[in-house]
Structure 1
């Protein structure tokens, strides 16, 4: 039996350099197989009830200094002297003890690896959550807001910040404190919205730096709402025409106006040329151009003409979706065909408002005049001073101003074929900014006036 146990014992323990079997109440004799372990440098068998001699092989290793041998002389009756005994009573508990020790090491290793993997996974979840918060706390399109959440977000619709064709807009906060704007659909606007949920979900994945992000939506029974990122500086209309408002006391300077125009054009370009299928806004106007804390312009309410699909019998909603008087493409009235150039016309009107500081419908003592009708004779007179917003004084570049007027007039042509693509408008407006910054004269690049029938005065 001793020889049968010694062989697997040697194979199992051949890599051990130190064995500590002290105070295990082991009985029997010390097996000489321990001396055959090639890497064994230390052996402690003290504190046991061993009998018999210390094997000569272990004694020799200890004497030569290659093995540190520890034993309890008081409990070992034979010590190093020869006496009779049976090593099989010792070798079995030794093997069991070593196996138990190895098993414990393996168990601890497995637990350590499992702990590290779990900790790494938790760290990844935390990092992903933090990244999601930094990017705008966007909820999954498969997790719409409930109406109770909408009530909580808006503190029971405590603070109204606006009202549009679809209902009132309320200021609110998400659970993490991030401000949002909640557009609650009015009770008169809840009929015929067959495609609301599908379109709202599709709009949530439309992202551009010059588009207001749609964070989520609510569609629960008769309750419908849209949750947008909050734009702290309100809308362009407030900054251009509501100067009696205590919150808008600063006049937009010329460079700010050009940059707002570029921002809005870039957002429109993404809707027209970056989305598949293209999205036509259909109701572009200053109140739908919102301004962030650093005055970056973003287009709001894009895609609502598709998101709020209506029945033909709901005339009030259909009228709202057709656009706002003064900004509506005149060709749309005649043909009823909506296309990207309809938005370009609306943009041209907004650009005229930025240039002149006047609203689309100009009131005088006799009648109301459309801004294009008002500006056209001014252009023919060739006096840019009469066109530019007088609140700007002389703080603008004349050449840049003329070019901006030319771009606005091209966008506001009566037929869509005569209007440029919005990508061309962006190039022209950036040239305006370059002229304004450098105060140098350059030739027109992307918009050649010769290709259009409308004649404008040259820059002066």
Structure 2
């Protein structure tokens, strides 16, 4: 029933979303965006309990197919261009308790069934709606009384207005800049009427779409592509930038776009990609970052795209720097943040191979007050996803620790995270089985050709396996991870320095041997 209903809703509004394929609720890691499902047990099929189509460009009437989602608890159709009357069936859906229809162009009377106790109904921004107890005619009659009342008190109102004017003109009025936002892209993307998200701030970093076209030379050079759209090279005031353009069919959506802007406008760390600005002009959305010329870590492990394969020492330094970026998100900013999508393709390298964590569209903040987790819809990349978070929906900093552990295993092994051709398809299973043999050489990336300190390699491997422990409470914090990795790096650097000294000494001995042959012997 849920599948048929959501397909009918999709057809009614002409929605086209990349991940709206197959069953909307299963498997859990491929659940469609914009909705939540109930997962009771294996014998009970999952049902859709929440549908959020806010700011989705919907037009026409409220789809009748919604009433077939019989277990729906939350419905958000806000900030669209819906017309027509509010249907009676919404009030007859007994499980439906949160309804957000604000920011549309609905008309007529509000059904009496929707005014029952317990329903949280949001209808702001629909000027042609009126309560079921009234009517347009009654409303018109009431407005006729206004001129009469106004005429009776006109003298006193004029006097009061004159006094107020004289008082206010003596005070210096502050200049207030009002930023008008396009109707299709509201300042606040409401998902819960009681807890609206913070608005995008700081207009000084906002670019127009024409400026984006100019800085990219009409999108001439594409340097990357993902589920969000494409990334183009550009320049701003002579500085290179990367312009991430959000496509209309993107799975990321306006909510994630705004979340990334809000986060990057208030966090600053040398190991996080810096936001130069953004464009939010109707349907044209773009994020403008500092340009990171050396690509991502994944490319430098595999050597694909003409990238060089980095040695063990550089890999450890990259791991330390990425860990420092995560540590800052967890404990260095207020409120603390969870990245939620840590992976090798989201660790970028500058011209000096300095690591910078990128892509904050899925990041979430924690409420201030000591909460160790938040409950949220599961999101992330398969293979990197914390299994405990996947099963419970409880997101915490240890979810990032798990994902970072997977990254560390990739750095060590250069094995794919998921490989269906392996007996042990997931990288944690493969490493676990190889550990039983006790031979580090079989686990380490063969591209390193044995050029690494075995002590640092074992220590990094043990750290990675502790990060991917199925139980989050047993995983280390990112602060502990940073300390361990720094010690691994010190061990590897000591080995390299010793190796250089030995090479230097060997060269000196060779030089002395040749020199001694040139000295005349006594006769």
TM-score (norm. length: structure 2)? 0.52
**1:144 match:** 206
Change (3 A) 1:335 1:233: same
**2:280 match:** 219
Native 8 Å contact 2:232 2:242 kept in 1: yes
**2:400 match:** 343
1:288 aligns with 2:350: no
Native 8 Å contact 1:141 1:201 kept in 2: no
The one of 320, 327, 330 equivalent to 1:262 is 320
1:234 aligns with 2:234: no
**2:241 match:** 180
Native 8 Å contact 1:195 1:306 kept in 2: no
**1:162 match:** 224
Q: Determine helix, strand or coil for the equivalent of 2:323.
A: helix
- Offset of residue 190 of structure 1: 8.2
The one of 322, 326, 342 equivalent to 2:383 is 326
Give 5+ residue unaligned stretches, structure 1: 1-138, 308-317, 441-460
**1:278 match:** 336
Change (3 A) 1:202 1:426: closer
- Offset of residue 393 of structure 1: 1.2
Following the alignment from structure 1 to structure 2, what is the Cα–Cα distance between the partners of residues 141 and 357?
43
Change (3 A) 1:356 1:412: same
**2:434 match:** 378
- Offset of residue 399 of structure 1: 0.6
Deviations 1:285-321 (A, max 9, x none): 11100000000000001254459xxxxxxxxxx99x8
5 Å-filtered alignment, 1:8-157, equals: 141-157=203-219
Change (3 A) 1:358 1:191: closer
Following the alignment from structure 2 to structure 1, what is the Cα–Cα distance between the partners of residues 398 and 495?
31
Following the alignment from structure 1 to structure 2, what is the Cα–Cα distance between the partners of residues 277 and 352?
30
**1:400 match:** 456
Deviations 1:55-109 (A, max 9, x none): xxxxxxxxxxxxxxxxxxxxxxxxxxxxxxxxxxxxxxxxxxxxxxxxxxxxxxx
Root-mean-square deviation (CA, aligned residues, Å) is 2.4
- Offset of residue 140 of structure 1: 5.5
- Offset of residue 141 of structure 1: 4.5
- Offset of residue 197 of structure 1: 4.6
Native 8 Å contact 1:182 1:228 kept in 2: yes
- Offset of residue 179 of structure 1: 0.7
Following the alignment from structure 2 to structure 1, what is the Cα–Cα distance between the partners of residues 448 and 358?
27
Higher relative contact order (CA closer than 8 Å, sequence separation 6+): 1
5 Å-filtered alignment, 1:417-428, equals: 417-428=473-484
Deviations 1:399-458 (A, max 9, x none): 110000000000011111011000000000011011112249xxxxxxxxxxxxxxxxxx
1:413 aligns with 2:472: no
Native 8 Å contact 1:290 1:299 kept in 2: yes
Deviations 1:311-336 (A, max 9, x none): xxxxxxx99x8111100111111101
Following the alignment from structure 2 to structure 1, what is the Cα–Cα distance between the partners of residues 248 and 417?
30
**2:416 match:** 359
**1:434 match:** 490
Following the alignment from structure 2 to structure 1, what is the Cα–Cα distance between the partners of residues 474 and 229?
36
Query: Relative to total residues, which structure has the larger helix share, 1 or 2?
Result: 1
Larger gyration radius, structure 1 or structure 2 = 1
